[in-house]
Each structure stands twice: as C-alpha cells, then as structure tokens.
Structure 1
C-alpha cells in the first residue's frame, strides 16, 4: 500500500493533525537552525518540548554530563522554546565565571522567584539593584560578626545545644534532618540577634516553612510578575532576608546531613577522623576553626563531602551584554547554565570523581592541599556571600559531633543499606530521609 493510500485510510481529523505536527516539526527545526546558528551546537529539539525529553527530572545535572560527552563542554539545549547555553567542566565554567565575570553576571528572569520576591533580594536580582543590595548585605553581615570570633563562639554554643538534643535520643534512631536545627539557629542569630529553643513552636513552624519553600523552588516555574525600582524598600529588605534564611540554613544544614550519612556509610573514615580529633582537641574542649590547620584529614573529609554531594548542581546566569565566548556569539539575555556538578566531578581534576575519597585533598605526606576545581560555592562576582560562615559552621559542628558520638545505621540495617544515589529533588540535592543512631563515645 502506498503512503498516500495509508494516509487516506485514516479519518480526516487524524490526518490533518499529523500533517500539522509534521509541518510544525519542519518549521521548528528550520527556525531553530537559523536562530541558533551562532550559538554552540547541541541536540536537535523536538517541537514544543525542545530537549526536555533528554533530561532526567531527578538529576538534570547528570543528564548534562552525558550530553557534554557528545556535544563538548559548551553546548545549547532547548527547554521548550527557551534556548539555554550549558557550560561543563572546570575550564569552561571557570573561564566564564572568572575571566568573563561581568558578561555572565546577570540572572535570567525565573518566574517562581519573581512570584515570591518580585525581582528583589540578593540572590536573583540583577543590575544595579543586585550590586547595591549585595554590597549592603555583605557589609551588614560582617558588622553582625560573620567571619569573626564572636560568631564562632555562638556556633560553639549552638553545638552544645545540638549535642544535648542528640543525647536525648539515647542511642535510638532519629532522622538525619534533625541536624538542620543548629545551622538554622546560627542564621537566626546572625539576622535576628537571638536563637530559638528547639521546642519553640515558632522555630518548628519556621523550619517547616523553610522546607516548603525549598521544595517549591524545585518545582516547575510559576507565572511572571513585575519589579520594584527603588532599591532600599521594605520588599527588597524582606526578600534579602529571605535569601539569607534560605541559603544560610538549607545549604549548611543539608551538607551536615550528608556528612553524617557518609561517615555512617564509611565507618573507617569516621574512626580516622575521631582519632585525629582526639590527638588535637583537648578533652573537655571543642575544636575551633583555627584547629583545622592541624587536622588535615578531618579538613579533607569535610571538603570531600562538599565535592561528592554536588549540593547545588547549577544556578542559571544570563549574559548582561552581547558576548563572544569560545568562538560563539551569545546575545544579551541568553540564559547560561554553569554546571558546578561537572566541575566537582571533572575527571581531569579528580582521581576518582564518582567515589567518596578524602585523599582528593591530601598529598603524599597526608597534608591538606587546596584544589582549584573545588567550587561548591561557585566563583566570580556571584559566589556565595556566606562562604566563610558556612565553612566555619561545617567544621565546628562536624568535629564536635564526631568528637561526642559514633554514628551508625539503626539495628537491622548495614552500611550497604544506606542510600547515597537518589537525592530528594528540591532546590538543593538532599539525601533521602534516613534514620541514624548516635552512640555516645567515652
């Protein structure tokens, strides 16, 4: 039977629909080739959905790594009708964020953030609004003690409260998310001047709201709205505080969850950290941030946790001006995804990128070494403004917890049962909700 006869044998409405889809496909492909002729190459988009069928919704970052093997470190994807340039690997990402920092400094208009913050705040604002808000925020945080001895004293104080809370479980199983309470309180101390009791109903409600917002940010975009032009207004202040609450609690708290989960998974590593703590920290005292210089293995483990978990896979940028980058032309306003996962898992810079291996940060003599491809806080002018606080919190909380407890799976489970592979999809990559047992140490 000829193609014409097959076509004529179907109802007219189906034939007409198929014809429309076929013509739309031809038009979309032709217009796409024309409009992206100066953009990097990439997979051919399908009508309407573009390249969305190529992405794993749970781990989009891993999908980008697979596509990079075929199309190179710089390629173009279509999220529906939205063209996005993806940067993968340390060299390409660093080149854009450091050497072209002004060209890639803007954020694209993401409707869900527009809906929540109306374009205000420090995280997703752009232009002069972002520059002024960032300068003001960083100055204010330094004045409030970030990076100073005062805030470290508050972190150590909070550690004592956390330890007492964990002791209350008496070695019985409890959820990893319990560790969120301490980093959250440090953020509240910095922003509001006081901590909350862990049983305070207001504190519990705030934790719940933060969790709901983070889950919402991992969901599909909402509709777009407008911006305020005046920089110093109540809306911008509230949006900036919301940014700091979200970033200051979710990132450190989730990293701490991963850290405990990983030392449960690898008890030999946990024991080695505990031995080093015992050699450096005096009995009855807590480790200080300065002690990290004498604790290379512990420092390496904390860094490897951040590298291995790829907590924030990518946050989109967009070009602030017409930009020539690596032989391609990116018009002003082009959305760009610098993949931090691809940097933290770059096989050219990490010996065993997909394994949890603290030796990535140790030399042959066991001394801690910095690695240029360690970029969990991003880089350039849009890097994390709370980086110094996060590093201090992670070190003090992690060493204090392992100094006091040995973490192990609940009865009936083994290290093999612990799940590292399928994080819960939110704005960050969280570990699956899993129980742990904290056994007090002598």
Structure 2
C-alpha cells in the first residue's frame, strides 16, 4: 500500500472518530437545555471572548434564553441567567442545586475538601460546625460588633498617617477585613506592619486576581498563570499549619479560644470514628477557606465602594449629612444606627449590587437527577449561576446599569429590600459570613466617612468605575486617592 492510501485510511478513521464523538455528544445533550454547538475537547471556548467570559455568557442568554448548555472544554455546564430562574434553582430547589461544581485551578489544591469547595455530607457537617462555632464566639452579637468597632479605629489611625497625601487603600482595607476573620479563626489580630501578615494578604490578593481570570476558571492540565494559584495556596496552608501547631501546643479543651481550638477538640472527639469528616486535612483546608474568604470579599467591596464614591461626590455628600445628623462627631458608629440611616444602608447595598464582587458565584452541581423547567438534569451536572444577572436584572431594578442608591429606597426614603439582591449568593450555599460582612461594611464605611472626606486625583467624571477584570470576582481598577480629615 502506498503512502497516499495509508494516509487516506488514517484520515477516514479520524473522520469516523470525530463523527462518533459528535454523535455521542449530541445524544448525551438531548436532555439538556439547548445551547451553542460544542466542538470536541474545546467545547464552546472558541465561540466566546475568553477575556470577557461572563459578558459572553450573558450575551448567549439573549440567544438561548435564561437556561442553556455551555461547554467549558469537555465539561457540559448549564448556565442560569436572570433573577427568576436563579430563584427557582438556588432557593426553590436549594437542596438539589447545592453541590459544589468544578473549579479546576483551585481544586488542584482543595481536592474537593474544605468548607467552600467541599460537597455532600462532609460540607453539610463542616458548615453546621462553622456556623455554631462562630455564633459561640460572637458572630452577629454585640461582642463581635465591639471587635469590628475597635478595628475600625485602627483603620482610621492608619488613614490619618497618610496626612492627606495620595495612597492606594488596598492593603489597609485588606488588613482591616482580614483581622476580623483572624480574631474568629486565630484568636487575635495582626499589626498592619507585620511582614508575614502582609505577605499572606499579598498571596490572597494575587490568587483572587488569578482566580478571576479565564485561566483560573477553565484550565487544569496545561501550563499557565493559573498554576500559581496552587503554589499560593500551599503557602497559605503552610502558614495555617504553623498556627494549628501553635494552638495544639497550648490547647485547653475546657476553654477554647478560637475556631482552630474548637476544630482540634472536634478532631480529638472523632478520632475513633472511621467515617468522620473532621481530620487534619479538612481542618487545614477549611481554615484557609475562611481566612481567604473573610479577607478578600469585604476588602474588595470597600475598595470598589470608595472608588464609586469618588465618582459620585453627591452620594458622599448625602452620606456625610446622614452620618452627622444621626451619629455626630463625638462617638463611634454602632449597628443600632443602621436602622436610622436608610440612605447609608441603601448606598452599601447598591455598592454591593453594582460592584458585583462575585458575579458568577462559585460553580454548583446537581446533587441528584431532577426535572427542572422541562429538562432532565443529571446528578453531578455542573451549574454556572450568573449571580450578576439577578443583580442587574432590568425587571427587578429600574436602572440596573447605573449606580443608583434609590434601588433600595421607597418613595418615602425608607430602606426597602429587593429579593433580586444576591450579593451573598442564595439558597444552601449562601455565604455563612453574611451577617459578619454586613457589620464590617457598615462600621468600616461610616467610621471612615465620619472622620474623612474623599478627594479624587482627577475630575470625578473621568473616573472609570467598571471593573479591571471580571471572573470569579470583579476586580476594581487600581487607584489612589486622598483622605482629608473633617
């Protein structure tokens, strides 16, 4: 047989394999919602702008509707878009949609363990344990409020050191937010000048950016910047390991000091249970999860919030007026003030809605075979909940593309809730630190504005408040500004 004949046979075999794969895929996808036709191995990735993945996914919903199938490489995912379908899935069918989906670059490290990336019974037990432990240490209570008020004063003291000169607020805000979760998890806070603490915050900030890139969301087996996520997590885990050992050496089972102590006690109690979910690896990964999530989300929201206020000085002026009228200058803000400050409450909610810090949430999976909106969704199917499409749903917000605090005010100027507000996600996977984050955002923002006026370095109209990048998180553009003492 000559070479041309052999080549023809190989070409025919390759074509047959390709047709077989396409046929198999189509058969597999018959029960799923329609979507763009995927290609073997690459899925739909050649049909979207990978640098603007969320924007592309939102645009596809205009063609295929609020629920469609999209392939991230070889993985079929069902994308949910818009308040109504997100409510039906995450809230009305909360249990069925509560599995944790695949997040390749992170799960290289987590391997499905920990409170954020775990699933099934292990995740349920970890969540119950964390909620109970945090409540015992004051989360949502006055004792934690006092701790946040104290940290707010440390933050203001650091701001005063800038002496009205331009500065980047990133690490000040990261330190403040991180110290609150450190109090719960590690039992104490860090100084803003602590070199190890600043290194850890830099690792968290770096990972947040990488996880928000397309590389971080879809890549697994090929080289790329996402590989740094794994290395950074190992460094975070090493630090947590040091803290775990410190606690272990000084542990008093009758007087736990923090979350780590409680976990160590639980591990000891369960040591003879072969089916336990409480072990050293789970403790390490859960602690890193809490440290990471408690640091980045609040600090990113505040960082984005200050940039938005620089763009809208008229909003800052109204905030100053309400703070001066309700709180004054002679005492620190407290959570009791919130009910008497509807405009401030509305602004904070609108910052969270507009900043949209976690626009697509963390991927979910189906926990059992179900019928949903006329389609059969099999167990373990990946779900991408586009939380941003609820936060920007034009049927729920009158002017979703604009920053407008009146989205959360009624005609009488009183604060009003909106069910489409999903800044903390929704359903079984709603952020367990929601109450803590609300306290932090209110107390940090009001304490800062009680003491300072924001001064931009350019004309407010020229300030770009669109995100620098959008993926797992919406990353605010880097900026500097001045804080002028009032």
Q: Normalized against structure 2, the TM-score is what? A: 0.83
Of 227, 238, 260, which aligns to 2:306?
A: 260
Per-residue deviation at 1:63?
Answer: 1.7
Equivalent residue for 1:121, pick from 101, 106, 114: 114
SS at match of 1:371: coil
**Corresponding residue for 1:195?**
189
Asked if structure 1 preserves the Cα contact closer than 8 Å seen for 2:425 and 2:431, the reply is yes
Look up the match of 2:271: none
Tell me which residue corresponds to 1:332. 379
Give the Cα separation in 2 of the matches to 1:21 and 1:259.
Answer: 54
Match of 2:207 among 213, 224, 231: 213
In structure 1, the partner of 2:78 is: 85
Displacement after TM superposition at 1:109 (Å): 4.0
- Relative distance call for 1:290 and 1:25 in structure 2 (3 A) is farther
Change (3 A) 1:122 1:15: same
2:483 is the counterpart of 1:438: yes
Mapped partners of 1:432, 1:17: distance in 2: 52
* Equivalent residue number for residue 171 of structure 1: 164
Q: Deviations over 1:362-410 (max 9, x none)?
A: 1111111001111111111111000000000000001111111111222
Distance 1:15 1:105, change over 3 A: same
Residue aligning to 1:307: 353
Q: Which residue of 2 aligns with 1:7?
A: none
Which residue does the alignment assign to 1:295? 341
Structure 1: runs of 5 or more not aligned: 1-10
Q: Which residue is 1:182 aligned to?
A: 176
Shift in alpha-carbon separation, 1:190–1:107, aligned structure 2, 3 A:
same
Question: Deviation of residue 21 (structure 1)?
Answer: 7.8
Aligned length: 427
The structural deviation recorded for 1:273 is 0.7
Cα distance change of structure 1 residues 188 and 333 upon mapping to structure 2, 3 Å threshold: same
Check conservation: 1:115, 1:223, Cα contact below 8 A: no
Give 3-state SS (helix, strand or coil) of 2:199's partner.
helix
Q: Aligned partners of 1:19, 1:348: CA distance in 2, in Å?
A: 52
Q: Which segment is superposed worse, 49-58 or 160-169?
A: 49-58
| Alpha-carbon shift at residue 15 of structure 1 (Å) | 9.1
Bigger shift: 161-170 or 39-48? Answer: 39-48
Q: Is the 8 A contact 1:112 1:223 kept in 2?
A: no
Do the aligned residues in 2 keep the contact of 1:176 with 1:433 (CA within 8 Å)?
no
Task: For residue 216 of structure 1, report the CA deviation from its aligned partner.
Answer: 4.2
Superposed displacement of residue 300, structure 1? 0.4
SS at match of 1:60: helix
Q: Contact 2:347/2:405 (CA < 8 Å) preserved in 1?
A: yes
Determine if contact 2:393/2:400 at 8 Å carries over to the other structure.
yes
Separation in structure 2 between the aligned mates of residue 292 and residue 22 of structure 1, nearest angstrom:
66
1:6 is aligned to: none
1:50 pairs with one of 43, 68, 80: 43
How far the C-alpha of 1:75 sits from its partner, in A, is: 0.4
Q: What displacement does 1:13 show?
A: 11
Partner of 1:240: 286
- For residues 333-352 of structure 1, the aligned pairs below 5 Å read 333-352=380-399
In the aligned structure 2, how far is the partner of 1:397 from the partner of 1:371?
23
User: Does structure 2 retain, via aligned residues, the 8 Å contact 1:90–1:373?
Assistant: yes
What is the CA deviation profile of residues 266-316 of structure 1, one whole-angstrom value per residue up to 9, with x for unaligned ones?
000110111111110032212111211111111100000010111111211
Q: Is residue 321 of structure 2 the alignment partner of residue 275 of structure 1?
A: yes
Separation in structure 1 between the aligned mates of residue 29 and residue 354 of structure 2, nearest angstrom: 35
User: CA contact under 8 A between 1:145 and 1:151: conserved in structure 2?
Assistant: yes
- Which residue does the alignment assign to 1:378? 425
Match of 2:405 in 1: 358
Are the aligned partners of 1:214 and 1:426 in contact in 2 as well (CA < 8 Å)? no
CA shift for structure 1 position 24: 6.2
Shift of 1:422: 3.5
Determine helix, strand or coil for the equivalent of 1:175: coil
Q: Deviations over 1:419-442 (max 9, x none)?
A: 22242356421201111111111x
Which deviates the most, 98-107 or 58-67? 58-67
The answer as to 2:25 corresponding to 1:32 is yes
Partner of 1:204: 198
RMSD over aligned Cα, in angstroms? 2.4
Partner of 2:463: 418
Hey, what's the Cα distance between the residues in 1 that align with 2:5 and 2:179? 65
Aligned to 2:363: 316
The yes-or-no answer on 1:102 pairing with 2:95 is yes
Secondary structure of 1:348 counterpart: coil
Q: CA deviation at 1:222?
A: 3.8
